[in-house]
């Protein structure tokens, strides 16, 4: 079920940073208490292949997000200790050394399960043991949530493991939503900062389409 237009779940999750500090993060409260937007991106697993390319891409764009009053938080179901090991492994050895934003460690799957982004398979019943088992790796899809200063989700995206994200699109989404917040003008397809926007009426749309 989509969270767009709704408050992000009010849950604390373990987190790790590059200094080896373990702490609790409540994404909803982080947005509200800091009066900042949040980009929360989930990736399947530490020490994999596509995931570090995304993490480094977010790191390279970190200042651009910060300039937009936006926090970046990564997340997976790995433990804090595995996060720390990955954060302290050199880039040329498969690590993410140099990444400075926090990584959530949703080891108990409480948050990812509530978000509905866990990869799960079929449930099987064993008559001999009277037990149920589940197929599936119980890791997350590549899910991204854009959250405003009140803790409300204004955009979300979920895609399969093999397909990495396009980080500039999230910058564009933050710009577009911020423009709407400030000016009350809506942003057409492929809008970027500095381009024409629309008022919410038919004449405005007709004028825009005539120009473009």
183 and 158: one domain? no
pLDDT of residue 205: 67
Residues pairing with 73 in the sheet: 40
Please indicate whether residue 187 is annotated as part of the active site.
no
153 and 106: one domain? yes
pLDDT of residue 199: 75
152 and 180: one domain? no
Q: Could you give the CA distance from residue 46 to residue 13 in angstroms, rounded to a whole number?
A: 17
Query: Is there a domain that residue 5 lies in?
Result: no
Query: Is there a domain that residue 137 lies in?
Result: yes
143 and 176: one domain? no
64 and 111: one domain? yes
Query: Is there a domain that residue 124 lies in?
Result: yes
pLDDT of residue 209: 66
Query: Is there a domain that residue 6 lies in?
Result: no
> What tokens does 190 get?
């492929």
* CA 174 and chain centroid, separation: 13
SS3 (DSSP) at 102: coil
Q: Could you give the CA distance from residue 146 to residue 177 in angstroms, rounded to a whole number?
A: 10
Query: Is there a domain that residue 68 lies in?
Result: yes
Query: Could you say which DSSP state residue 87 is in?
Result: H
Query: Is there a domain that residue 2 lies in?
Result: no
57 and 95: one domain? yes
pLDDT of residue 203: 56
Q: For residue 97, what are the domain limits?
A: 12-163
Per-residue pLDDT of the chain (212 residues; tens, 9 = 90+): 899 999 999 999 999 999 999 999 999 999 999 999 999 999 999 999 999 999 999 999 999 999 999 999 999 999 999 999 999 999 999 999 999 999 999 999 999 999 999 998 666 667 777 776 666 678 999 999 999 999 999 999 999 999 999 999 999 999 999 999 999 999 888 999 888 888 766 556 667 667 77
130 and 185: one domain? no
Domain harbouring 125, CATH code: 3.40.30.10
Query: Is there a domain that residue 83 lies in?
Result: yes
175 and 153: one domain? no
Which residues of the chain form beta strands (DSSP E)?
12-16, 22-26, 37-42, 70-76, 103-105, 123-126, 131-134, 142-147, 153-159
76 and 170: one domain? no
CB 2 within 8 A of CB 156: yes
Q: Which of 39, 51, 71, 143 is catalytic?
A: 51
65 and 149: one domain? yes
159 and 175: one domain? no
Query: Is there a domain that residue 188 lies in?
Result: yes
Total residues found in the chain within this entry = 212
Q: 30 CB contacts (<8 Å, ≥6 apart)? A: 36, 38, 71, 73
84 and 159: one domain? yes
The count of structural domains within the chain is 2
CB 106 within 8 A of CB 75: yes
């Amino acid at each position: 079920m989509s969270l767009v237009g709704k408050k992000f779940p009010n849950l604390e999750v373990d987190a790790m940073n590059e200094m080896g500090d373990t702490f609790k993060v409540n994404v909803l409260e982080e947005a509200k208490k800091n009066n900042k937007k949040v980009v929360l991106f989930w990736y399947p697993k530490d020490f994999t292949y596509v995931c570090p390319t995304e993490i480094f891409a977010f790191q390279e764009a970190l200042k651009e997000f910060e300039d937009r009053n936006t926090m970046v938080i990564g997340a997976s179901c790995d433990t804090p200790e595995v996060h720390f090991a990955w954060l302290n492994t050199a880039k040329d050895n498969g690590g993410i050394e140099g990444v400075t934003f926090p990584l959530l460690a949703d080891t108990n799957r409480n948050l990812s399960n509530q978000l509905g982004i866990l990869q799960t398979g079929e449930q099987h019943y064993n008559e001999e043991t009277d037990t149920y088992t589940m197929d599936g790796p119980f890791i997350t899809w590549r899910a991204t949530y854009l959250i405003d200063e009140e803790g409300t989700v204004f955009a979300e995206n979920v895609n399969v493991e093999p397909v990495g994200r396009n980080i500039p699109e999230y910058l564009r989404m933050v710009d577009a939503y911020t423009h709407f917040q400030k000016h009350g003008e809506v942003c057409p397809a492929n809008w970027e900062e500095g381009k024409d926007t629309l008022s919410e009426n038919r004449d405005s749309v007709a004028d825009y389409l005539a120009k473009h």
